[in-house]
Amino acid sequence: MAPILEVKDLKKSFGGLEVFSGINISIEENQIYGIIGTNGAGKTTLFNIICGVLRPDCGSVLYKGVDITAKETHQIAAMGIGRCFQTVMPFKSMTPYENARVARAAAGKLNQDRQKFSLEEIMEITNLQDKMNIRTQELSLPDKKNVEIARALACNPEVILFDEVSCGLSGEEIYSRMELMRNLAKLGITVVVVEHIMLFIKEICDQVSVLHSGKVICSGTPKEVAEDEGVIEAYLGGKSNENFRS
């Protein structure tokens, strides 16, 4: 099966700082794909390049075999790539429902044939049905994160990118999100997660790539990655991999 999202030989540097020196990642359909890496490894930059916010110096991003590297962000969104940010950015003057509605009106209209949920269902999935009519500004952080997920879902995406969703959430909330991601994958949406928390990755991902100093140093199932010498060296400073196994 051809990969749905493919990153080929990507290079990017900011001034003198080289973030990527040629990385290759290919993501199969219906997977939950994890990308891990230390701080500053370029996880968010990778997402930004996929979404077209940043342009790579060299290399390409393929979505369903089509080169989207040079496309505008809104075109990419309309093709079916949704995204949640690490720092939450809901449209603060609107209610959660309106947040989803505007996304449906913008990108969702263009890929209606892929629609899996109605807006009401999205509200239910993301646990927002009680807060549908409160301005997002007044919601708590976990709810704002839910709004972001709802907004991304409303675009009718085929691939959805999660940028550190667990950041700032309690254990219980993280579990509910893991559950959500599994459900999405079951429904045929490819999920790409960037995470710090190993448990999270290990628990839900089918495939994992490890980014380190501008390169993908290892790819494979979580188990393979956890036992890879290079990863242990890079990620845990060569000590032990207790964190991985716990």
Q: Minimal distance in Å, beta carbon 68 to other proteins?
A: 13
In the bound state with other proteins, the residue whose beta carbon lies nearer, of 92 and 182, is 92
Looking at the Cβ atoms of 36 and 155, the one nearer to other proteins is: 155
43 touches other proteins (CB under 8 A):
no
The structure tokens listed for 3 are 């990969």
Can residue 46 be called a binding residue for other proteins (CB under 8 A)? no
Using CB under 8 A as the criterion, what x/- string covers residues 183-202 for binding other proteins?
--------------------
* Among candidate residues 176, 172, 193, 191, the one with its CA nearest the CA of residue 128: 176
Candidates 55, 74, 223, 245; binder of other proteins (CB under 8 A) is 74
221 and 207 Cβ atoms separated by less than 8 Å:
yes
> Which CB sits closer to other proteins, 36 or 153?
153
Note the Cα 213 to chain centre separation in Å.
20
Tell me how far, at minimum, the Cβ of 213 lies from other proteins, in Å.
Answer: 26
The answer to the question of residue 141 lying near other proteins (CB under 8 A) is: no
Q: Distance (Å, rounded) from C-alpha 198 to C-alpha 163?
A: 14
Q: Which of 2, 17, 89, 141 binds other proteins (CB under 8 A)?
A: 89
Using CB under 8 A, which of 9, 57, 67, 72 touches other proteins? 72
Contact of 167 with 196, CB cutoff 8 Å: yes
CA 202 to chain CA centroid, Å, is: 16
Please give the size of the binding site for other proteins, defined by CB under 8 A.
Answer: 30
Q: DSSP string covering 7-73, please?
A: EEEEEEEETTEEEEEEEEEEE-TT-EEEEEE-TTSSHHHHHHHHHTSS--SEEEEEETTEE-TTS-H
* 99 close to 145: Cβ distance less than 8 angstroms: no
Q: Show contacts with other proteins in window 93-112 (CB under 8 A).
A: 93-94, 98, 101-103, 105-108, 110
Q: Are the beta carbons of 187 and 31 closer than 8 angstroms?
A: no
Residue 79 CB, shortest distance to other proteins, in Å, is 9
CB of 111 to other proteins, least distance (A): 9
Q: What distance in Å separates the CA atoms of residue 143 and residue 133, rounded to the nearest whole number?
A: 13
Report whether 127 contacts 169 (CB < 8 A).
no
Residues 6-25 as x/- pattern, contact with other proteins by CB under 8 A? --------------------
Q: Residues interacting with other proteins, by CB under 8 A?
A: 51, 53, 72-75, 77-78, 82-83, 85, 89-94, 98, 101-103, 105-108, 110, 151-152, 154-155
